[in-house]
Structure 1
Amino acid sequence: YDLLTGQVVGRLSGPKSIVRDAFWHPERHEIIAGA
């Protein structure tokens, strides 16, 4: 979301269930998530 307007500017594809942990890969453009 945009911090100034509060508007959603993009959504990630993937599971629709609750994500409890998410981590950015330190070198790649990847996010690892766990429920």
Structure 2
Amino acid sequence: MRRVDRQNEDGSVAVEFALVGPLMVLLIIGMVV
């Protein structure tokens, strides 16, 4: 996780979570199943 711009940190983190969140959920489900 990069922290270059503090002004844009919240936005970038939100976008990263929105993109990575579903993938992590799919990975967890795949591991469980």
TM range (shorter): under 0.3
Q: Which has the higher helix share?
A: 2
TM-score (norm 2): 0.17
Flag the structure with larger Rg. 2
Q: Which has the higher strand share?
A: 1
- Of structures 1 and 2, the one with the larger relative CO (CA 8 A, separation 6+) is 1
